[in-house]
Amino acid sequence: MISAKKGDWVQVENIVLPAGHRAPQVPEDTQKCDLKMWVKGEALQDAKEDEELEVKTTTGRIVKGRLVEVNSRYVHDYGEFQPELLKIEHQLKEILFGGEK
């Protein structure tokens, strides 16, 4: 269970359009999902996870939403090693430098 103190850098979540009220051109599987929005900002009140609070974003906007993260981590990285890429490397070097094809 996370919680935020006033002044913490947090991420809030909002529902822009609920499932069933999506744009008509949206395919069936997406129609069943809410259109959700996430924004980061400075907490203007203390809050616990899932509680609603206001945040001040980096451009100075005030946005209300449900607390989902505090000091959000960037989760992307360089991934798992992919042996297929090594196979390609060896193949290319063999073709180009390892004698006649």
Partner 1 sequence: MAKDMSYEALNARKNEIMKAAMQISYEDFELAGIGFNYEKMMDEVGYSIEEMRKMQLENAVGNTPLLEMRNLTALARKYAPAGKGARILVKDEACNASGSFKARRAAIAVQQAKKLGYKGVIAATSGNYGAAVAAQAAMNGLKCIVVQECYDNDKIGQPEILEKQRICEAYGAEVVQLTVGPELFTTFLGLLEETGYFNASLYTPFGIAGVETLGYELAEQCRQRYGKDPDVVVCTNAGGGNLTGTARGLIKADATKTQVVGASIDLKGLHMASNGDFNKKSCTTGHTGFAIPFVTWPDRSDCPRNAARTLRYMDRYVIVKQGEVFYITQALAVLEGYERGPAGNTSLTAAFVLAQEMNEDEIIIVQETEYTGAGKHTMPQLTFAKQNGVDVLFGDPDNEIPGKTLVFPEDPGMIKAREYDLSKAKKSYIHNCVKNYDMATASEEDINYIMDEIKESREFVLAELKGAGITI
The residue ranges that bind partner 1 (CB under 8 A) are 16-17, 22-23, 25-27, 29-30, 32-41, 57-61, 74-82, 84-85, 87-89, 91-93, 95-96, 101
1 vs 29 by CB, closer to partner 1: 29
Q: Across-strand partners of 15?
A: 36
**Smallest distance, Å, CB 47 to partner 1?**
19
**Smallest distance, Å, CB 7 to partner 1?**
18
1 vs 96 by CB, closer to partner 1: 96
> 29 — phi, psi (to 5°)?
-65, -35
**Smallest distance, Å, CB 20 to partner 1?**
13
Task: Give the 3-state secondary structure of 33-44.
Answer: CCEEEEEEEEEC
Burial profile 63-84: b = 16 or more Cβ within 10 angstroms, e = fewer: bebbbebbeeeeeeeeeeeeee
| Helices and strands (H, E) in the chain, number of each type | 2, 6
20 vs 60 by CB, closer to partner 1: 60
38 vs 46 by CB, closer to partner 1: 38
11 three-state secondary structure: strand
